[in-house]
Amino acid sequence: MLSHYYRDKPNCIAKIEKILTANGRINPRVKVEIRWFYRQEDAIGGRKSFHGTKELFSSDHVDTQSVDTIVEKCNVYSMDEYNNLDKVEENDFFCRFEYQRLTGAFSPESITVYCRCEMPENPDREMIDCENCGDRFHPACLDMTAEMAKQLNHFICQPCLSAMEMVKKSKIIYPVATAGAFW
């Protein structure tokens, strides 16, 4: 990945797909073929509440630039890889959507939603997992602080707790015949 400088804007980020040389030799006029990543603010429709601050969109926008425009290296991870980083550095980003720049369409068109608020995951917001159903919840949506959620050893969501209570209440106890007794 590369970072490309524009005045008064954050560096633009692109993936180098091909190095283009003159006559097969590397020289000062070396160009690179790149595929741009878009930031939420640059996409049609802009930032959504579930977009992470370090989220980028892979795009269909391919371009050729001089190698001199490369500022520095950065890393663009899948969302799972990003969530598993021990420490997120300044030049670490994640991508979960592909963006078509002319139509503004995204792929995939929809993603899994979680919690009572039915929002997609945002790595910037803490989530806790229900041990029973695996659904994920924002502590704030459960009237908890992030600190309270971190102190939990176990968590079972209210729908699962309610279902467990219903099962307990609906158990019918049948008498068991003793040995030698016939009904």
The pLDDT tens digits for 19-64 are: 887 665 656 678 889 999 999 888 888 888 888 999 999 999 999 9
Is it the case that residue 181 has pLDDT exceeding 70?
Answer: no
Which has more pLDDT, 65 or 25?
65
Residues 6+ apart with CB under 8 A from 133: 157, 159, 160
Cα separation, 124 vs 53, whole angstroms:
7
What is the CATH topology of the domain spanning 1-110?
A: SH3 type barrels. (2.30.30)
CATH number of 112-170: 3.30.40.10
Per-residue pLDDT at 67: 84
> What ranges do the domains of the chain cover?
1-110, 112-170
Rg (CA), the chain: 26
Per-residue pLDDT at 183: 43
Quote the percentage of the chain above a pLDDT of 70. 85
Evaluate whether 1-110 and 112-170 have a shared fold: no
Using pLDDT thresholds of 50, 70 and 90, give the confidence band for residue 172: low
Look at the block and give the residue holding tokens 């595929």: 35
Per-residue pLDDT at 23: 67
Cα separation, 58 vs 37, whole angstroms:
5
* DSSP symbol at 181: -
Give 136-141's long-range contacts (Cβ < 8 A, gap of 24+).
141/115, 141/116, 141/117
Given a contact cutoff of 8 angstroms between Cβ atoms, the answer to whether 19 and 34 are in contact is no
Per-residue pLDDT at 128: 92
Per-residue pLDDT at 17: 92
- Identify the CA nearest to 93 among candidates 67, 138, 58: 58
List pLDDT tens digits, range 91-146.
Answer: 999 999 999 989 988 898 888 899 989 999 888 888 999 999 999 999 999 999 98
Using pLDDT thresholds of 50, 70 and 90, give the confidence band for residue 178: low
Look at the block and give the residue holding tokens 């939603």: 113
The DSSP result for 59-110, as a single string, is EEEEEEEEGGGEEEE-EEEEHHHHHT-SS--TTEEEEEEEE-TTT--EESS-
Cα separation, 20 vs 22, whole angstroms:
7
3-state secondary structure (DSSP) of residue 126: coil
* DSSP symbol at 153: S
